[in-house]
Copies of this chain bind each other. A is one copy, B any other.
């Protein structure tokens, strides 16, 4: 590994130049005028693999191409699939960028450009680490498969289909993704759990038009009144979801996890300041990190009814709509929850109101067992790269591709984030810390070593 580490150290300048090269391509997947740029970025990535003599294909889709590459199988070593994306978010609002979004600029040790952290910079760490192995050892210590898509920022519409049709080709033992963040600056992390989601829209219809609330108020059920009554009945004052069977399948947080979360340098005051609230709030009996990462929640995402303009209008609305979601943890089943929800809302719906419950995407929560040998390998690799042992965290959101890999390929994913939570992902002045970029490359190079020793 010494030779490898030296090689990485002496190539830093080149890695940064190559990252800047990729960042200069405005591969905005949402903007059709950038179609050629997106294709150019795909080719740039494919060229990296071609130079490493991997088997490469740029797979056309109905949208933007998928770059697939693989190194030869290694007898007795596992196969790892690296997922990433070369497309980026639109750069608007342009006037808020200190340096132009597609002219990568280094300030204070950070490289500023759209896609720096999400995901060009993070993705490239695994490409460069593989290259380093090939340049120094002549080959990789395990088989790597790369799946680098160009539609992550627009919903990955064509990726699931591709994975479903190429299960054999993508078969692997574990997936590695770097598209998340460290726990804090200087504190790398392994994200081993994600929440699932069940998202709904409740539509209530009362009278066939808005009525005068004076003339008609008291005569008929008001859809807006019904909406607040029905939606509020789903949660109690202690922040507990009030739906039969909702907690039945919830896997409790383990004592080990609760202890580990409690030890994390989580500054509640700084967190409150960051999001601009005077107090935190949620399910009684759990810490803030436990509530965000390991407990199911119920959040209303949108409310629409009646008069929304300025001032007062005395209207009894014809309709009322609420969008809301439950965030789920293992082993909650979105289907079971939908059934319980439908039954409960039907029960709550007053006479004279027609109710419709639309179901949007649903997905289960995921937890990678902490005692997995892959996790241990990642832990060691990150310590090698960052000089600090990573902490273990979960994430409250969902990363749909992780569920897809679980479902279609039957494998777990290691989420190794090199970014920071102030990287301005999806915002102006996106950045990546260059020191973390190099630490990421080193961690990745060591990860192939440690994973390669597993089988």
Separation in Å of the A362 CB from the closest CB of chain B?
10
Separation in Å of the A145 CB from the closest CB of chain B?
28
Is B316 touching A215 in the complex (CB atoms < 8 A)?
Answer: no
Partner of A354, one of B197, B278, B288, B320: B278
By a CB distance below 8 angstroms, the chain B residues around A350 are 281
Which among A28-36, A225-233, A330-338 touches the partner chain? A225-233
Which among A55-63, A95-103, A307-315 touches the partner chain? A307-315
B-contacting residues, A196-239, CB 8 Å: 197, 199, 201, 206-209, 211-222, 224-225, 227-229, 231-233, 235, 237
By a CB distance below 8 angstroms, the chain B residues around A278 are 351-352, 354
Is A303 touching B304 in the complex (CB atoms < 8 A)?
Answer: yes
Is A212 touching B306 in the complex (CB atoms < 8 A)?
Answer: no
A264 within 8 A of B: no
**A208-B275 CB under 8 A given contacts A217-B299, A224-B301, A228-B303:** yes
Is B315 touching A302 in the complex (CB atoms < 8 A)?
Answer: yes
In the bound complex, how far is the Cα of B150 from the Cα of A363, in angstroms? Answer: 61
In the bound complex, how far is the Cα of B320 from the Cα of A365, in angstroms? Answer: 28
A136 within 8 A of B: no
In the bound complex, how far is the Cα of B350 from the Cα of A177, in angstroms? Answer: 38
Partner of A214, one of B221, B231, B275, B398: B398
**Beta-carbon nearest neighbor of A276 in chain B:** B208
By a CB distance below 8 angstroms, the chain B residues around A398 are 214
By a CB distance below 8 angstroms, the chain B residues around A361 are 312
By a CB distance below 8 angstroms, the chain B residues around A351 are 278-281
By a CB distance below 8 angstroms, the chain B residues around A156 are none
A253 within 8 A of B: no
The 9 A-B pairs of least Cβ separation, nearest first, read A214-B397, A208-B276, A218-B291, A224-B300, A279-B352, A279-B351, A221-B281, A302-B306, A312-B360
**Beta-carbon nearest neighbor of A199 in chain B:** B312
In the bound complex, how far is the Cα of B211 from the Cα of A336, in angstroms? Answer: 27
**Beta-carbon nearest neighbor of A221 in chain B:** B281
Is B276 touching A218 in the complex (CB atoms < 8 A)?
Answer: no
**Beta-carbon nearest neighbor of A195 in chain B:** B214
Separation in Å of the A306 CB from the closest CB of chain B?
4
**A300-B306 CB under 8 A given contacts A281-B350, A327-B213:** yes
Is B303 touching A323 in the complex (CB atoms < 8 A)?
Answer: no
Of the A-B pairs whose beta carbons lie under 8 Å apart in the complex, a sample of 7, sorted by A's number, is A215-B292, A225-B298, A281-B350, A281-B351, A303-B305, A304-B308, A307-B323
Is A303 touching B303 in the complex (CB atoms < 8 A)?
Answer: yes
By a CB distance below 8 angstroms, the chain B residues around A141 are none
By a CB distance below 8 angstroms, the chain B residues around A207 are 275-277
Which one of A217, A233, A302, A308 has the greatest number of beta carbons of chain B within 10 Å?
A217
Is A302 touching B305 in the complex (CB atoms < 8 A)?
Answer: yes
A297 within 8 A of B: yes
**A216-B305 CB under 8 A given contacts A277-B207, A312-B201:** no
In the bound complex, how far is the Cα of B189 from the Cα of A142, in angstroms? Answer: 91
Chain A contact residue count (CB 8 A cutoff) = 78
A283 within 8 A of B: yes
Partner of A314, one of B197, B232, B276: B197
A252 within 8 A of B: no
A110 within 8 A of B: no
By a CB distance below 8 angstroms, the chain B residues around A280 are 219-220, 351-352
In the bound complex, how far is the Cα of B387 from the Cα of A326, in angstroms? Answer: 64
In the bound complex, how far is the Cα of B455 from the Cα of A109, in angstroms? Answer: 95
B-contacting residues, A345-391, CB 8 Å: 350-352, 354, 360-361
A245 within 8 A of B: no
A120 within 8 A of B: no
Partner of A222, one of B276, B299, B312: B299
In the bound complex, how far is the Cα of B216 from the Cα of A397, in angstroms? Answer: 8
A395 within 8 A of B: yes
Is A396 touching B312 in the complex (CB atoms < 8 A)?
Answer: no
**A213-B299 CB under 8 A given contacts A218-B282, A235-B225, A281-B220:** yes
A115 within 8 A of B: no
In the bound complex, how far is the Cα of B397 from the Cα of A211, in angstroms? Answer: 11
Partner of A325, one of B197, B213, B231: B213
